A and B are shown apart, each in its own frame.
Chain A
Amino acid sequence: MKHHIEGSQAVAHAVALCRPEVMACYPISPQTHIVETLSRKVKAGEIGNSQFLNVESEFGALSVLIGASAMGARTYTATTSQGLLFMAEAVYNAGGLGLPIVMTIANRALGAPINIWNDHSDSMSMRDAGWIQLFAQDNQEAVDLHIQAFRLAEELSCPVMVCMDGYILTHAYEVVDLPTQEQVDAYVPAFEPVQVLDPQDPVSIGAMVGPEAFAEVRYLAHDKHLRAVEAIPRLSRAFEDIFQRRSGGLLKAYHTNEAETVLLALGSVNGTIKDAVDDLRKEGWPVGSLALCAFRPFPSHALRQAVQDAKRIIVFEKDLAVGKGGIVSSDVKMALRGLPTIVDTVIAGLGGRPIPKASVIDTVKQACLEGLEEPHFLDLNWDAINRELTRQQAQRRSGPTAENILREIGAPGASPI
């Protein structure tokens, strides 16, 4: 049934329908309305015999879930930004152990400078931890991906992060078709763990592995992701059979047939990009767009097939590999190796800066007419940067960069230089 509902509330509803047995969360900002709502649902007895644990930290939250998952419980948590960093050691452990935990990442920037707004820096920092990473374009997809994530995680015995843009999706009210318990029960089977701590049949989980076998264990984690490349579209089709809508999959193409230029992005900015594609096509520009839903595993083969006729790919990404440029675009270049396709990197939307349709359109035209420097930074205030660089060269004690830039742009409350 269709509801007009906040993204976080919709996701909480979907997670509850998946009947997680143990949820552990650290109740401090940065947190989301998702776990607030889930804690209330557990208290009200709406999620069977589910247990909700308020823990002492994000590290504690995921550590509890590692134990619970190893005991055969269906497990869930959510975090964002610095919270994910504080969880980092356990994130790698859950990935390496292959425990099928589902975690929402309400994508936000990482400090310093302190910033609470949206970008993809947080989940990108954990991209190689062995977790599957799925990105939602809108709140309907965020709901649907959580339901798919539990089945995917448990089928493969691999943890899954469902990434949804912080604020832009988590705090947005829009129309979402919320599934029924019957639909979710028909889609998500009972959890049959491939490894479980059972006193009747004792095993240990988490062996010390030396040089003689470490690479083999790591290869098998990689192999699991290769199998996920097959499983993700299959589970998306199975989802469509029950829920009557297409959600998830490896990637989604929009007007890529005969497009010479394809815009590629993760997450909610694909909405704005599709509007930009429509406007550009009306003006006669042969463009299309591609939304990557799966970022880990990286769908290299599907991507290569989807854009094989394109001359240029412009990757819009909400992250920055400092000292290099693009993270997503590097993976795209790797997937397209051997093809003559030009791959541009556009660093955009950092720390919550809006990505306006007009800027997307201008950038596409500039790329096609003149080419872009690599990487290109969308809507960067070069005047402020150059003034600060000049000052830094002129005096040794030039002071803290963040404070100086705030003064340069005349931010409210900043004292004059």
Chain B
Amino acid sequence: MVTAAELLALAAFRDGKEAQAFPSFGSERTGAPVTAFCRINAQPIRSREPVYHPDVLLIQDSTLLHQVDVFGGLAESAFVLINSARDIDALHLTDFVTCHPGVQMHTLPASDLALKHLGRPFANIGMVAGYAALTGEVSKASVNQSITEKFPGRIGELNGAVAAEVYDFVAANLARV
């Protein structure tokens, strides 16, 4: 999750924008529920408060959906992407979407695609690539460049393959926003 926020900010920076990424600082162990934040702006970013009202929400662990108030503070016209092979109905989120007509929600099997290429279910790359493909708010070229920069060598190539498959998946299955 922290890596996703860094990648997103780095891609926005490559696009010529101001960007800030920071984790919410909980217990430092893999697997613990964790939140990370990213701000992207044309103007320099000064705020150091957590993001209380996100315009974009990337949920990497769908098992948190009904345990933690992940939608708390969500902006009215927010974009939500959930890492899951199941659709919104199967995740029991249809009522939420109906009650929040401004919110655009999609699911993407980011962990499955990572598992296929990396052998491990790291959803970071897929979620950032999916966000780029669905919204165009950060460019695919900058996402790809950021992956190479963040993960030099073989790991970068494999993650690049994850991103490429996510772009194809979005083109084939999900309408671009």
Contact = CB atoms under 8 A, between A and B. Distances in A.
Contact of B48 (A117, A173, A175, A272): A272
Categorize the interface residue count of chain B: 20 to 34
Contacts of B23: 167, 171
A227 interface: no
A357 interface: yes
Contacts, number: 61
B47 interface: yes
Contact of A269 (B13, B19, B21, B48): B48
Interface stretch (A37-45, A83-91, A348-356): A348-356
Contacts of B46: 138, 271-272, 274-275
A172 interface: yes
Contacts of B14: 4
Contacts of A171: 22-23, 25
Nearest to A173: B21
B127 to A, nearest CB: 17
Nearest to B6: A173
A314 interface: no
Nearest to A360: B49
Interface in B27-48: 45-48
Contact of B25 (A4, A271, A274, A352): A352
Q: Dominant SS at the B interface?
A: mixed
B119 interface: no
Interface residues of A, number: 25
Interface string B116-154: 000000000000000000000000000000000000000
A133 interface: no
A387 to B, nearest CB: 24
B18 interface: yes
Contacts of A356: 49-50, 52
B9 interface: yes
A193 B146 CA distance: 45
A171 B22 CA distance: 6
Interface of B: 5-6, 9-10, 13-14, 18-23, 25, 45-50, 52
Closest 6 CB pairs of A and B: A271-B46, A4-B13, A173-B21, A172-B22, A167-B25, A174-B20
Given A172-B21, A354-B50, 5 more contacts: A117-B25, A173-B10, A173-B19, A175-B18, A269-B48
